[in-house]
Amino acid sequence: MSIDSNSPIGIFDSGIGGLTVAKAVMQALPNEDIIYFGDTARVPYGIKSKSTIQKYSAEITRFLVGKNVKMVIIACNSVSAVAKTVVTEAAENLPVLNVIDAGTKAAIKTGKKHIGVIGTLATVHSGAYKKKLLKKDESLTIKSKACPLLVPLAEEGWTDNDVALRTLSIYLDSFKKNGVEALILGCTHYPLFKKSIRKVFEQREIEIIDSADAVASSARSRLRKLNLLNSSNKPGNLSCFVSDHPQRFRELAERFLGREIPDIYIKQLLE
Amino acid sequence: MSIDSNSPIGIFDSGIGGLTVAKAVMQALPNEDIIYFGDTARVPYGIKSKSTIQKYSAEITRFLVGKNVKMVIIACNSVSAVAKTVVTEAAENLPVLNVIDAGTKAAIKTGKKHIGVIGTLATVHSGAYKKKLLKKDESLTIKSKACPLLVPLAEEGWTDNDVALRTLSIYLDSFKKNGVEALILGCTHYPLFKKSIRKVFEQREIEIIDSADAVASSARSRLRKLNLLNSSNKPGNLSCFVSDHPQRFRELAERFLGREIPDIYIKQLLE
């Protein structure tokens, strides 16, 4: 089976968060079919060792390649930080995009010099965004802040109640004070807090960089360049594969995606 | 090597939360040595399948048996719910205690008829406390509520700030309204919220059942009965083994334990 412009786009994440990427891709490329894989049995990746993350990522990439995808999008920050090369190898000659590269590029494009990065403990400790940003422009000032409560708040559906707003004010307080001009949402769950983040910054102008939108827009340009854009006029299909617990995935998925999930399949992975 | 009254007590958990059990055991039995195992590489267990939890639990129990422990305490609610038999087998002839049995017994002992249970999604969905309570007294009224934000709040150190108090009021609102008289803390992280829970209930009398205290008190009576209480007058030692990331464990451990952790060893486990 060889790929062509009708082949689907493969997107994967350690769990459910990558659906914000799937949503952004569906908006940017409404006629593309998408195969999403969420490793719900082994989430979270952030606490696992580099070699384990690499092993899991290669396994999932081979699964997507087997589904005849024309492009692989790494929608997980932990995988983007430590397993980009492994995924690129496993993807054979397919184009591979990832949220960290896309988010970094979008941040540079704003022209802002004071950049804030928020993410999970693992992403912030890895320093992946900071290193990539400084490599592109060493005159930037980068401040990072781990926000470990935002993922569970998003999964609880508390993205704009008083608990969410108070939590965001505590986390973003130093950014408000030290004049951050652009804020990278370095975790796939965080786009759900965009409105609340704007509320917390009140009058202060802040450019919010959503890696999901950034990677979706990279995907569109790359497919156009490769002449692989789906020429169909029909809305694309989304198929979701998870490694465990489809029911919990379904419940959360509709919140992350803003629409019903039609099909969920379970793929058994080795533990 | 055979066990005697000088042998240590083995305690294990999927991660760090079981240290609240270690703390309670140290208070109830100050002269006992403790070997603690936290499976920090594979936490959380709640989202894993029954067979995976059983496999991991047997592996850890064999590790503790190899350390010559005289008793095994399961400080993890997910393991207590699905792997008690497996642990008992792996522990050979050693006494095995677990937080769910101990918490249930303590709740029955209060004589209260309206009992609330809070825990993680996995514990609440398993219905383990409810089933055990109703088996002992079918006239009880049991209300359960999953409180998924409490673990990350405890790990962030936010146990009595405004975010924690507001979160608890939302979670406990229905318990306040429907006249719950006793509340089981069905997660090892929750004892850190005891004071804040009392604040949220304000004037309402509520008996809080802390499984950590309950299992520590069961351990004392069982060792006494078996004539295995340590006769030493010296304060016991605590040794902690983790499967990954000792630094993060150390940072959190001191908060959970209320004192410095002297020794942490890493035990490599199969992924």
Domain co-membership, B19 together with B30: yes
Provide the pLDDT for residue A235: 92
Domain co-membership, A87 together with A183: no
- Which residue range forms the structural domain that includes residue A76? 9-98+213-266
* Number of domains making up chain A: 2
Q: Report which residue type is found at B41.
A: A
pTM: 0.90
> Is residue B270 pLDDT above 70, yes or no?
no
**B211 confidence band (pLDDT: 50, 70, 90):** very high
Q: Report which residue type is found at B119.
A: G
CA B209/CA A97 separation, integer angstroms: 50
Phi, psi of B214 (to 5 degrees): -65, -45
- Residue B22 falls inside a structural domain: yes
**Residue A246 Cα, gap to closest chain B Cα (Å):** 12
Residue B50 at interface with chain A, using a CB cutoff of 8 Å: no
B49 interaction partners in chain A (CB closer than 8 Å): 41, 244
**B258 confidence band (pLDDT: 50, 70, 90):** confident
Residue A50 at interface with chain B, using a CB cutoff of 8 Å: no
Contacts 24+ apart (CB under 8 A), B224-229: B226/B95, B227/B5, B228/B3, B228/B4, B228/B5, B228/B7, B228/B70, B228/B71, B229/B5, B229/B29, B229/B32
- Residue A1 falls inside a structural domain: no
- Residue B43 falls inside a structural domain: yes
Provide the pLDDT for residue A107: 97
Domain co-membership, B149 together with B114: yes
Strands B182-185 and B141-146: unpaired
Q: Hey, of A125, A158, A167, A242, which one would you mutate to test binding to chain B, going by the most B CBs within 10 A of its CB?
A: A167
When CB atoms are compared, the residue of B49, B55, B167 closest to A244 is B49
A257, A23 Cβ separation under 8 angstroms: yes
For residue B95, give both structure tokens: 């006494």
- Measured between CA atoms, the residue of chain A closest to residue B170 is A163
Q: Hey, of A149, A159, A161, A196, which one would you mutate to test binding to chain B, going by the most B CBs within 10 A of its CB?
A: A149
Provide the pLDDT for residue A1: 64
- Residue A4 falls inside a structural domain: no
Q: Hey, of A153, A172, A247, A266, which one would you mutate to test binding to chain B, going by the most B CBs within 10 A of its CB?
A: A153
Domain co-membership, A205 together with A107: yes
CB pair distance less than 8 Å for A156 and B170? no
From the candidates A76, A97, A164, A215, give the one annotated as an active-site residue. A76
Domain co-membership, A135 together with A124: yes
Residue A41 at interface with chain B, using a CB cutoff of 8 Å: yes
CA B106/CA B113 separation, integer angstroms: 13
> Is residue B264 pLDDT above 60, yes or no?
yes
For tokens 């969905």, the residue is: B125
Which stretches in chain A have pLDDT values below 70? Answer: 1, 268-271
B32, B8 Cβ separation under 8 angstroms: yes
Of B189, B211, B233, which marks where a domain is finished?
B211
For residue B69, give both structure tokens: 């422990």
DSSP-based three-state secondary structure for B154: helix
- Residue B2 falls inside a structural domain: no
From the candidates B102, B187, B240, B253, give the one annotated as an active-site residue. B187
**B259 confidence band (pLDDT: 50, 70, 90):** confident
- Residue B241 falls inside a structural domain: yes
Residue A47 at interface with chain B, using a CB cutoff of 8 Å: yes
A240 is catalytic: no
**Residue A43 Cα, gap to closest chain B Cα (Å):** 8
- Measured between CA atoms, the residue of chain A closest to residue B51 is A271
Residues of B (240-259) whose Cβ lies below 8 Å from A: 244-245, 248
Domain co-membership, B126 together with B176: yes
A271 interaction partners in chain B (CB closer than 8 Å): 48, 52, 55
What is the number of CB-based contacts under 8 A between chain A and chain B?
Answer: 57
Considering only CA atoms, which of B109, B110, B86, B108 is closest in space to residue B98? B86
Domain co-membership, B174 together with B202: yes
Mean of the per-residue pLDDT values for chain A?
93
CB pair distance less than 8 Å for A163 and B158? no
A187, A149 Cβ separation under 8 angstroms: no
A55 interaction partners in chain B (CB closer than 8 Å): 271
When CB atoms are compared, the residue of A48, A153, A162 closest to B149 is A153
Other beta carbons less than 10 A from residue A256's beta carbon:
23
Residues B102-107, mean pLDDT to the nearest whole number: 97
What DSSP element (H or E) covers B200?
helix B194-201
Domain co-membership, A82 together with A119: no
Domain co-membership, B26 together with B93: yes
CA A106/CA B171 separation, integer angstroms: 39
Residues B237-251, mean pLDDT to the nearest whole number: 86
B240 is catalytic: no
DSSP-based three-state secondary structure for B97: strand
- Residue A17 falls inside a structural domain: yes
What is the interface pTM, i.e. ipTM, of the complex? 0.87
Q: Hey, of A156, A159, A166, which one would you mutate to test binding to chain B, going by the most B CBs within 10 A of its CB?
A: A156
Provide the pLDDT for residue B43: 87
Domain co-membership, B113 together with B56: no
pLDDT winner (highest mean) among B38-42, B99-103, B125-129, B259-263 = B99-103
Domain co-membership, A92 together with A115: no
Domain co-membership, A75 together with A202: no
CATH at B21: 3.40.50.1860
When CB atoms are compared, the residue of A48, A148, A155 closest to B155 is A148
- Residue A271 falls inside a structural domain: no
Residue B204 at interface with chain A, using a CB cutoff of 8 Å: no
Residues B179-192, mean pLDDT to the nearest whole number: 95
Neighbour-count burial of B259, counting CB atoms closer than 10 A to its CB (0-12 exposed, 13-18 middle, 19+ buried):
exposed
What DSSP element (H or E) covers A168?
helix A162-177
